[in-house]
Structure 1
Amino acid sequence: MTRGVTTEKHHLGVRRLLRIADFRRLLLSRLAAQWGDGLFQAGLAGAVLFNPERQSDPLDIAAGFAVLLLPYSIVGPFAGALLDRWDRRRVLVVANLVRGVFVLLTAMAVGAGLEGVPLYAAALIVTGVSRFVGSGSSASLPHVVTEDHLVEANAFVSTLGALTAVFGAGCAIGLRVALGAGDGGSSWTTATAVVGSLLAAAIASRFARGVLGPDEVDEPSGAFAAIARGLLDGARAAARTPSVVAALFALLAHRVGFGISLLLTLLLMRNTLQDFGPLKAGIAGLGEVAVSGGLGVLLAGIFTDRVVDRLGARRTVLCALGLAAAAQGLAAVIELVLGLPVLLPTVLCAAFFLTLGGQVVKLCVDAAVQSDIGDETRGRVFALYDTLFNTTQVVAIAIAAALVPLDGRSPGLVLAATATYLVGAAGYLLLSRQSVRDR
């Protein structure tokens, strides 16, 4: 049930959305958490990948991404079942506080120069608990905005959240400059992310009990049975909804291509690319990539809702995947066919279009899950969504890490990424047509 919001069909606009007190509160809590996530992940990446006291090869980078992303897959089934069982307000408060504790523990591990299991274990818990926060916020959104305005609200929330995470990453880069790039400076940088967790918990605590759902609990009486059934129920609910299946296929194809491109970009920035005028390589270059991608996210947030209204979700997703494939294909042609060097401007341009296309697809997937899946299983479907989303990217990065040279130059992998976007578009088209026939 959605509380206290209008059901009119026209676009509410940002001002009217922000007048809804519970929407505003949920948004602020999410932004605080995502700022902390962006700062934590960039701080940890800097500590591991761009730390003069440590050395990393492509497989080390793949392991780092596994640490940051696989907890979403491991914790996902637990998060989904519990979000459909527990008061989501309580989940947002407790999860943020627990995350804050482990942010500090991870920072201490970085400062002590720890590597391997001790460092990764603390980071795994931080990112794992973050899954409760992200899934809880997404599953709660339909309780503060009507279904008619979900695409609009989700576009605004996702866009602003992604930009806030980019801002958090930028703060981490600035703190590294001020505090130092070694273990000590990296430790203080990473520890600053605790501020986001504490703010998110404080804001979420102001919700009335039960206002974020779930409205009904369709769970076994035992918590362990609920957890064990969570992922399976999410899969069943998604499988019964062809529009969600089609959207997930498109998104997963994008994550494969994006994962490959992300690894290549990291290696190019660290080992190959040179400064280009005012543009800088190294970790500063990753900040520029983040800004370029952030602009893509911003553009997607502004126009996706209106494009969907005009073209429909299916054509919008196909256009987004086509845009990403074109960006990858052009990069391959420049390097492989024309023999031209990879330069910072071309990398930033590709990052913009890849992120733009991916964010458009993600917004359409979010809207499909939020509108087509019932509230009693929505948390579990979002957990399944996150599980597949991050596992797919980690697998893609791991496979690419085994094949890519240390300098990051691999036209073959760029072509492989291009192919995944085309496969995603073809699969989405077939599955979405089946969805239309089944109605």
Structure 2
Amino acid sequence: MSVLSDLKTVAVHRDFRKLFAVRLVSQCGDGMFQAGLATLFFFNPQNLATAAAVAGAFAILLLPFTLVAPFAGPLLDRWRRRQVLLGGNAIRVVLTLVLAVIMVTQGVSVAVYVLALVTLGVNRFLLAALSAGLPRVVPREQLLMANTLTPTLGAVSAVAGAGLGFLIGAISPAGVLKDGLTLTVAAVLFGCASALALRLGKDQLGPDRAATGRGRSWAEVAQDLRATAVDMADGARYLVRRRTPGMGLGVMAIHRFLYGVNFIALILISRNLLNDPADAGAGLATFGLLAGLSFAGNGLAIVLTPLAHERVRPSQWIVVCLLIGAVSQGLLAITPAFAMIVASAVLLGLSVQGAKIAVDTIVQRDTHDAFRGRAFSLYDMLYNAAFAGAAALAAAVLPDEGWSALVFAVLALVYVLLAVGYRAGIARIDDTPREVPVPQPLDEPTDLV
């Protein structure tokens, strides 16, 4: 089934179209925002791109939200998710404009890192809300199709936004306004995404149960944070007891860790191995090309995953994707020739996106709506933790050129072991979720804004 045909099938639902529009515009802004950060942190001629420096930048941006992100899930299970999309994007407008002003007037400072950190954290929160709300706008039998299309086409939108961001930077005249222009345009897109969320009804994306929280004292806020911690622990226990979503999140976290090491290596290879390290612009162009090819692999996942799921279960497709990941790293272990790097990037893009579509489907299919927000918040936490852990490992094992035959050979071996271990676990439980009692309903939903 073609992508266009799948999109026509789910796009007949008006509410899906509304939610999908929010995702596309929001993620286009994400891509533009992240392009600005990539240029600033990794391909600035004034910065030395060493393995430790690149890993440190990733740790600064991701590690704090590994600790904060779990608290988003219980809120997604308490607050109206439509209001989260509306308010979250509006907050990003303000943060991004302030960041642009600081970059123009003061240059790179601690405030830039802090604001970038907060803005990316809000983005993770919004992506979790988009995923948690998807089952409310498409029929259950079309959920796999929607899961296949929306995250990947959202990623395509992010790539388009990144490309537009790089183009704006390339054609902008040199000067103090150059650094802030891309971020200003990204803020406009965030504002458009916030406005598009107004087309959805307040209660349309759920959840069915939520708790009110107006006029709380500081003591009540502290109590709510403790309750949130308890809720998150309950959500984790639920996913583990439910079996299939817990195993899916676990395998995707490890997959993301391995991908993170490869991603940091790709930055270093682009700037320091394939190009003169002093020519940061050439390094950025090479990295953009390789990243685009990796997203072409994501596009293959859009086409192949629905075809695969007509013949095998999502869990079996995850095993196949992990083995594809092993092949991608094995190719890199042979030689750092450009053709081999290109083939590896495409295969790894297919592996990551194909596995993610399957895991998203398993989590949404096998998780009760009362826990779905927490499930995707845990997903987000594991995503950040895996990337932060990958940064720490990359700093320790990768040379500044980014290529090591031993490192890529080990990554290939770990992919194989992960595929074998996950296959054995699924076979042991017969790929069937266990029934888990669902708690009593909470109070009525409350507005976020």
State the TM-score, normalized to the length of structure 1: 0.89
- Cα-to-partner distance string for 1:14-53 (whole Å, 9 max, x where unaligned): 2131121110010010111111111111111101211223
Equivalent position SS for 1:361: helix
Partner of 1:357: 351
Answering whether residue 77 of structure 2 is matched by residue 84 of structure 1, we say yes
CA change 1:110–1:418 in 2 (3 A) is farther
Structure 2 unaligned segments of length 5 or more: list them: 214-219, 435-449
Mapped pair 1:309 → 2:310? yes
Q: 2:154 aligns with which of 141, 161, 164?
A: 161
Please state how far the C-alpha of 1:77 moved relative to its aligned partner: 1.5
CA RMSD of superposed structures (Å): 2.3
Instruction: Provide the rounded CA distance (Å) in 2 between the counterparts of 1:14 and 1:233.
Output: 36
Of 138, 144, 148, the match for 1:151: 144
Q: Deviations over 1:309-364 (max 9, x none)?
A: 2122222111111111011112212x2xxxxxx23332222111001011011011
Shift in alpha-carbon separation, 1:325–1:382, aligned structure 2, 3 A = same
Q: Which amino acid aligns with 2:66?
A: S
Q: Which amino acid aligns with 2:305?
A: T
Are 1:191 and 2:184 counterparts?
A: yes
Q: Distance in 2 between matches of 1:258 and 1:314?
A: 19
Relative to structure 1, the CA distance from residue 104 to residue 344 in structure 2 (aligned partners, 3 Å threshold; closer, same or farther) is: farther
Q: Is the 8 A contact 2:10 2:142 kept in 1?
A: no
Report deviation, 1:308: 1.4
Taking a change above 3 Å as real, the CA distance of residues 183 and 63 of structure 1, as seen in their structure-2 partners, is farther
Partner of 2:91: 98
**SS in structure 1 at match of 2:200:** coil
Letter of the 2:368 partner, please give it: G
Q: Which amino acid aligns with 1:230?
A: D
2:62 equivalent to 1:61: no
Contact 1:32–1:199 (Cα < 8 Å) also in 2 = yes
1:232 paired to 2:226: no
Aligned residues: 418
Equivalent in the alignment of 1:253? 254
Query: 2:248–2:363: 8 Å Cα contact kept in structure 1?
Result: no
Partner in structure 1 of residue 243 of structure 2: 242
Tell me the CA shift for residue 253 of structure 1: 2.3
Q: Deviations over 1:380-413 (max 9, x none)?
A: 0110011012211221122111222212121122
Q: CA deviation at 1:113?
A: 4.9
Partner in structure 1 of residue 217 of structure 2: none
- Give the Å deviation of 1:210: 0.4
Q: Which moved more, 1:62-71 or 1:165-174?
A: 62-71
C-alpha distance in structure 2 between counterparts of 1:417 and 1:112, whole Å: 44
Matched, 1:373 2:367: yes
8 A Cα contact 1:143 1:213, kept in partner: yes
Q: Are 2:385 and 1:391 equivalent residues in the alignment?
A: yes
Gaps of 5+ in 1: 1-10, 336-341
Matched, 1:128 2:129: no
Measured in 1, the distance between the counterparts of 2:33 and 2:255 equals 25
Check 1:283–1:230 CA distance in 2 against 1; reply closer, same or farther (3 A cut). farther
Q: TM-score, normalised by structure 2?
A: 0.87
How far apart in 2 are the matches of 1:195 and 1:330? 42
- Aligned equivalents of 1:413, 1:401: Cα separation in 2: 12
User: Residue 156 and residue 71 in structure 1: after superposition, are their counterparts in 2 closer, same or farther (change >3 A)?
Assistant: farther
Q: What is the distance in 1 between the residues matched to 2:60 and 2:231?
A: 23
Which of 166, 169, 172 is matched with 2:165 structurally? Answer: 172
For 2:130, the equivalent position in structure 1 comes to 137
SS at match of 2:162: helix
